[in-house]
Amino acid sequence: MASGSKRLVECVPNFSEGKRKEVIDAISTAIRDTEGCTLLLVEPEASANRTVYTFVGDPVSIVEGAVNAAKVAHSLIDMRKHKGNHPRMGALDVCPFIPVSDVTMEDCINCSNEFGSRLSKELNVPLYLYEYSCTGGDHRRTLPQIRAGEYEGLKDKIIKSEWTPDYGPAQFVPSWGATVTGARPMLIAYNVNLLGTKQQAHRIALDIREQGRGPDNPGKFKCVRAIGWDLEDKGLSQISINLTDYKTTPIHAAYEECVRIAKDLKLAVVGSEIVGLVPLEAVMLSADYYIQKESLFIYKEEQKIRLVIERLGLSSLSYFNPKEKIIEYCIGSTADGPLVSSSVRDFIESIGSRASTPGGGSASACIASIGSALATMVGLMSYGKREFEGIDGIMRETILPLYDAMEQLIPIIDSDSTAFSSYMDALKMPHSNDEESTKRSLAMQEGLKRAIEVPLGLMRKAHSCWPHLFVLAEHGNKQTMSDLQVSASSLHCGVFGGYCNVLINLKGVTDTQYVTEIRQEVEQILAESQDNSDKVQKLVLKRL
């Protein structure tokens, strides 16, 4: 990030301008030029006459970026001239703040209040707080509630006592309207494309959205808001959906239901689109759905993403680039650490240096990940060929958990080298009086427990591979049995390394119950790991 900070807030301001390139670019520049902010995505839509911007930054920078963008919009957008098919009430219609990493919802509430306070003072415009920032009562908690009546109805609405703005003047500002800001969880803005009319799209929207057609006739899905509109420049209509909790209603659930209803209406759905960014987890939920539904064998992340793009038709209007649309890829949170990214030579030579890290923990994680990788290779070498058709089903069930174990063990190579940092930070805390000494001691104990969690996680994950190695030893390609033997020895070596690291940190923990429970667990894992390694070797030898 531009600021180098790991504390990240996402801001997704929606401006009421989607046609004039010079205005869209000017707002982009204001965000991009704000120190500490990184502009990730700009998505103008001419029919809606609206542009959605997505940028991230630390809690201080993100507010500055939003204020800078709003100032530009204030000078260039006049709501008296605005027309578009998306509901709106202001030049900067809505400006949510969303926690991404190492920040809380409370941090984002503070961001929204700081933004509201500054904008009202600097531009003299009204602002409303919504979602988690709302303080005005349940009748004005959600965006649709506040935006009801839109810009055209704001003049009469804003003077009512129950609609007094949270910030700024309680009067209509014709050129601006009003802005809604607040803190909310990650929301997915999702549109399903329909070869039909606006009215038909809205009919489907009413069927799927939580509100439905009213209190007595709710829609099918929880945490879904939806309306129908035309995309005149594209020659189709859209069911415009906000998924406010993608775990409650995943993307694929909304899409499949739209397809089903459209089919009953003799209408065609022609793909869909995601506006803004989408969490990787949401894409993986849809991938798992289609993999299970169609009995597919797909285990690599990039292949799962491609499956979702194809099944949902996410590139039907414009190319869906995962690197630009999936938030973890945009902010680099899926990037490998420095050790994993280094060459084999550099990694080994760094272990062989005078530095204390990387050490035995990182080496153990590397060896264990190699063990699971070798087992994965044996599974793949025993799958997909005519001679192995009889065991295809067995291999499918075996390869996936081994591949997942490999993917989860690799990051531990880096995380082990930093696992002790919390304890070292605690050592530096002041301890000149009893209160400071108590805080320092508690922090040291928490630091030690965190340092234990990493090698303990290594042991648990490596240990989970054994049942699958047994299957490979009995059914796998005979030509790969030597690789399986190395795999078994590597996994056990990784377990032993994790065991040693747990014990050395456990010595400093004063919580006797915790010490007893952890010691019992790791000793059991180590003993079983040795037995399992021996068992694999014996099974292999019987087949050779």
User: What is the C-alpha separation between 329 and 362, in angstroms, rounded?
Assistant: 25
Q: Please determine, for residue 234, whether its predicted confidence score (pLDDT) is greater than 90.
A: no
b/e string for 293-320 if b means 16 or more Cβ within 10 A? eeeeebbeeeebbebbbebbbbebbeeb
Q: Please determine, for residue 537, whether its predicted confidence score (pLDDT) is greater than 80.
A: yes
Mean pLDDT of 299-309: 96
Residue 454 banded pLDDT, cuts 50, 70, 90: very high
- The answer to whether residues 178 and 285 belong to one domain is no
- The answer to whether residues 179 and 31 belong to one domain is yes
CB 323 within 8 A of CB 329: yes
- The answer to whether residues 81 and 166 belong to one domain is yes
Q: Please determine, for residue 420, whether its predicted confidence score (pLDDT) is greater than 60.
A: yes
Catalytic hit among 86, 202, 431, 475? 86
3-state SS assignment for residue 108: helix
What pLDDT shows up at residue 1? Answer: 37
What pLDDT shows up at residue 488? Answer: 98
Length of the chain: 544
- The answer to whether residues 509 and 376 belong to one domain is yes
Look at phi and psi of residue 49 and say left if phi exceeds 0, alpha if psi is from -120 to 50, else beta. left
Domain of 502, in residue numbers: 338-543
Place of tokens 């928490």: 446
pLDDT in tens, 116-156: 999 999 999 999 999 999 998 999 999 999 999 999 999 99
Is 1 domain-assigned? no
Is 307 domain-assigned? yes
Helix axes 301-312, 251-264, angle to 10 degrees: 30
In terms of Cβ atoms closer than 10 Å to its own Cβ (0-12, 13-18, 19+), residue 517 is exposed
Is 255 domain-assigned? yes
Q: Which of 331, 357, 382 lies at the terminal end of a domain, its last residue?
A: 331
Q: Which of 137, 164, 183 lies at the terminal end of a domain, its last residue?
A: 183
Q: Which of 308, 331, 354 lies at the terminal end of a domain, its last residue?
A: 331
Is 2 domain-assigned? no
User: What is the C-alpha separation between 39 and 52, in angstroms, rounded?
Assistant: 11
Q: Please determine, for residue 2, whether its predicted confidence score (pLDDT) is greater than 60.
A: no
CATH of the domain at 41: 3.30.990.10
- The answer to whether residues 375 and 518 belong to one domain is yes
What secondary structure letter does DSSP report for 31?
H
Least confident of 88-97, 261-270, 448-457: 448-457
Q: Please determine, for residue 159, whether its predicted confidence score (pLDDT) is greater than 60.
A: yes
CB 181 within 8 A of CB 214: no
CB 79 within 8 A of CB 125: no
Contacts of 95 (CB under 8 A, 6+ apart): 11, 12, 13, 14, 66, 70, 112, 115, 179, 180, 181
297/424: higher pLDDT: 297
Instruction: Kindly report the average pLDDT of the chain as a whole number.
Output: 94
- The answer to whether residues 12 and 137 belong to one domain is yes
Mean pLDDT of 37-41: 93
Is 3 domain-assigned? no
Q: Cα-flanking dihedrals φ and ψ of residue 326, to 5°?
A: -95, 120
Q: Please determine, for residue 5, whether its predicted confidence score (pLDDT) is greater than 70.
A: no
CB 331 within 8 A of CB 56: yes
What pLDDT shows up at residue 47? Answer: 87
User: What is the C-alpha separation between 376 and 387, in angstroms, rounded?
Assistant: 19
Q: Beta strands of 73-146 (E only): which ranges? A: 92-101, 127-131
Mean pLDDT of 243-259: 96
- The answer to whether residues 106 and 193 belong to one domain is no
Mean pLDDT of 219-235: 91
Number of folded domains that form the chain? 3
Residue 377 banded pLDDT, cuts 50, 70, 90: very high
What pLDDT shows up at residue 376? Answer: 97
Residue 29 banded pLDDT, cuts 50, 70, 90: very high
Mean pLDDT of 263-279: 95
Q: Catalytic: 431?
A: no
What pLDDT shows up at residue 236? Answer: 94
Residue 504 token pair: 């050395």
pLDDT in tens, 487-536: 999 999 999 999 999 999 999 999 999 999 999 999 999 999 999 999 99
What pLDDT shows up at residue 356? Answer: 78
Q: Catalytic: 416?
A: yes
Residue 254 banded pLDDT, cuts 50, 70, 90: very high
- The answer to whether residues 319 and 439 belong to one domain is no
Catalytic hit among 166, 207, 230, 416? 416
Report the amino acid identity of residue 485: Q
Is 492 domain-assigned? yes
CATH of the domain at 301: 3.30.70.670
- The answer to whether residues 414 and 533 belong to one domain is yes
Residue 423 banded pLDDT, cuts 50, 70, 90: confident
Contacts of 327 (CB under 8 A, 6+ apart): 10, 40, 100, 186, 277, 278, 279, 280
Q: Please determine, for residue 333, whether its predicted confidence score (pLDDT) is greater than 80.
A: no
Is 519 domain-assigned? yes
- The answer to whether residues 503 and 380 belong to one domain is yes
- The answer to whether residues 108 and 245 belong to one domain is no
- The answer to whether residues 250 and 351 belong to one domain is no
Residue 4 banded pLDDT, cuts 50, 70, 90: very low
Task: Choose from 100-104, 192-196, 418-422 the range with maximum mean pLDDT.
Answer: 192-196
Is 31 domain-assigned? yes
What secondary structure letter does DSSP report for 90?
B
